[in-house]
Amino acid sequence: MTNDAMVDMITQLLDAREADASICPSEVARALAPAHWRDLMPQIRAVAAELALAGALRITQGSVEIAPAAVLAGLTRGPLRLRRAT
């Protein structure tokens, strides 16, 4: 799966939601590869972190914004949410 396909799917899913809504990275994976979505999760998290570094989106966990570097370094545990940049 290409990073561009993941960026496109993240954009499509966010565009389909209210402006203040978020998506789960697993939604992206399931939309791209329903049978093998778990295999895509590390790549999707990395793509999301790169987008966050570029200022294109925010990554949150609960009400806390997570640093993209922490996601890239694998320092995060638990569910993440992807939100539009403000």
Q: Which domains does the chain have, with CATH numbers?
A: 3-84 (1.10.10.10)
**Cα separation, 15 vs 37, whole angstroms:** 21
Burial class (CB in 10 A: 0-12, 13-18, 19+), 13: middle
pLDDT one-digit tens code per residue, 8-39: 999 999 999 999 999 999 999 999 999 999 99
Task: Quote the pTM value.
Answer: 0.93
**Cα separation, 1 vs 15, whole angstroms:** 21
pLDDT one-digit tens code per residue, 41-72: 999 999 999 999 999 999 999 999 999 999 99
